Amino acid sequence: MRPSPVSLVAIFAVIATAGAALSVPGVTERVAMLSRDGRDEAAVRVGTEAFRQGDHDRLLLSSVVDLNSRSGDPAVAEAAIRSYLASHPDDPLMLQRAVEFYDYRQDVDALVETLRHLIDVTSDAESVAKLARLYRVYGRYQEEYDLLYRFRDTRLEADLALRLGELLVREQDYQDARDVLAKVVGEPGMHQLMARRLLFDSMVETGEFDAASDLAQEWVKSDLKPEELGLFVLRLVRAGANDQAVDLAASVAQGQTSEIGDLAWTIGREGGLPLARSVVDRWLADADRATARQAIRLYVDLAISTGQARTVLMEVLAGIRGGDGATDPARAVALARALYEHQGYGAIAGLRPLLTARLLAYEPMFGAALARAEKNDIALRYFLAQTELGDLAEDEAVAWAAMAEDAFKPDELFANLMQRWRSGTLPPALVPALQRAATWSDRYDPKLDIWKPVLTGAITAEPQERTRLR
């Protein structure tokens, strides 16, 4: 049976109506189209109206949030956020948008709550950092600690790891502090020294003295300054780890005499004279003569300043007398010399009968000074002649010249110094003394610029040596 024309018209009308309805864009599509065309006000109006009429489509809510956050009604944006999260509470994208919204609005309570939820969902490191800093700014320290401790096994930002390490040390949780700080202590920056101190303290507190000393010695090899090293050495001293403290102190590079001096002085004041002596002895092991002299002077200065000069005197006495475990005789004489230079003849008067010529040969300049003080010209000439001029520091060379110019005749002094000059062993500080001796003994002809024969032809200047020493 064929349909009647009227029936066909009715069917086509229904189909056309349905097609027209399907071809009309939905609210979400209309909002998207308006926003795409730059008609934000219209998009806000359409989206907001649909939302108020009860349309809580997921995509529409997202658009309403975005549009009202930018140029609409913040109250509508917040309502859309809450509506969206009520049905999709764990959506990370909307949670992130909510964080941005509350941050912009400075709604701290809502921001904190949203960040906590976002962290529960994603464990996002950036969100952890943001929430931790918020807790700290607003004095919510226990919540800050709980949050950072929760994520202690993750890669916290360097300043947060440092903060957690500090809090853990306060809580005396040194093992956790050690683990946290070890991950960031190598990070360069302004907080590096604090990270090193906290890590070092934690290792000392857990009894890892050797490991702590070894670690600090590695820092010395890279960029740790001597004054910073002192903090770690003293920490070991206060913990009773004297052997490790001495090992660490001795890691200061040779030649850094001022830093060594400051460090040894601080150690002696904090840890006592015996510990300072151990440090000095370690430096003396490979020190040149000038450094060794400075180290001995430092030790004696420290002993005197702390009222322990008698300890040094007993060391000198033990070294002179000898015996098992006694101070080395050379060191004993060096200590006596330092006492003499610091406090004068009276400081060693009681020991003077024991300081024989054989012992004073270790320090001939000391022997010469004593002979001069005692007006013993023969001994003075002997010790001056025994002095290795090439080993003298500048101040010692000047002192040697002053004594030699009194002890020797001009011809003798000139012969002695000229011989050393020709052999290349005359210190620069003694060149003026050679010039004076040449003038006084009439051994230098300024017109011909040559040295005259010394003691009847003993020395004749060679052409290449005819250089005026001025």
Tens digit of pLDDT for each residue in 4-61? 554 434 444 444 343 433 333 455 555 454 444 444 444 455 545 555 554 445 555 5
Higher pLDDT among residues 309 and 378, named by residue: 378
CB of 30 closer than 8 Å to CB of 47: no
Residues in the chain: 470
Cβ atoms within 10 Å, residue 341 = 16
Residues 406, 206: Cα–Cα separation, whole Å: 64
The pLDDT assigned to 70 comes to 56
In a 3-state reduction of DSSP, which class is residue 328? coil
DSSP assignments along 89-122, one per residue: TT-HHHHHHHHHHHHHHT-HHHHHHHHHHHHHHH
Higher pLDDT among residues 197 and 459, named by residue: 197
CB of 65 closer than 8 Å to CB of 77: yes
Q: Cα dihedral angle (78, 80, 81, 82), rounded to 10 degrees?
A: 90
Section 268-282 average pLDDT: 72
The pLDDT assigned to 400 comes to 92
Please state, in angstroms and as integers, the Cα–Cα distance from residue 107 to each residue in 68, 98, 100, 110, following that order.
Answer: 17, 11, 11, 6
The pLDDT assigned to 432 comes to 87
pLDDT exceeding 70 applies to what percent of the chain? Answer: 71
CB of 174 closer than 8 Å to CB of 206: yes
CB of 95 closer than 8 Å to CB of 130: no
Section 331-344 average pLDDT: 92
Section 123-135 average pLDDT: 93
Section 84-102 average pLDDT: 82
The pLDDT assigned to 106 comes to 85
Task: Report whether pLDDT(464) > 50.
Answer: no
Q: In the structure encoding, which two tokens stand for residue 293, read together? A: 């002299």
Confidence category of residue 112, pLDDT binned at 50, 70, 90: very high
Section 199-225 average pLDDT: 90
Range ranked top by mean pLDDT from 43-52, 74-83, 199-208, 277-286: 199-208
CA angle (281, 218, 257) in 5-degree steps: 40
The pLDDT assigned to 311 comes to 85
Residue type, 159: D
Has this prediction a pTM greater than 0.85? Answer: no
pLDDT digits (tens, 9 = 90+) for 225-260: 766 787 888 888 888 888 888 888 777 754 455 666
Task: Report whether pLDDT(424) > 70.
Answer: yes
Q: Give me the chain's average pLDDT, please.
A: 77
Range ranked top by mean pLDDT from 181-185, 278-282, 291-295: 181-185
Residues 316, 331: Cα–Cα separation, whole Å: 8
Higher pLDDT among residues 311 and 227, named by residue: 311
pLDDT digits (tens, 9 = 90+) for 347-360: 999 999 999 999 99
Find the range with the poorest average confidence among 6-10, 69-73, 256-260, 375-379.
6-10
Residues 224, 231: Cα–Cα separation, whole Å: 11
CA angle (229, 234, 235) in 5-degree steps: 100
Residues 260, 270: Cα–Cα separation, whole Å: 15
Q: What is the 3-state secondary structure (H, E, C) of 47-81?
A: HHHHHHCCCCCHHHHHHHHHHHHHHCCHHHHHHHH
Find the range with the poorest average confidence among 178-192, 221-235, 375-389, 415-429.
221-235
pLDDT digits (tens, 9 = 90+) for 131-144: 999 999 999 999 99
Task: Report whether pLDDT(443) > 90.
Answer: no
Q: In the structure encoding, which two tokens stand for residue 381, read together? A: 């000439």
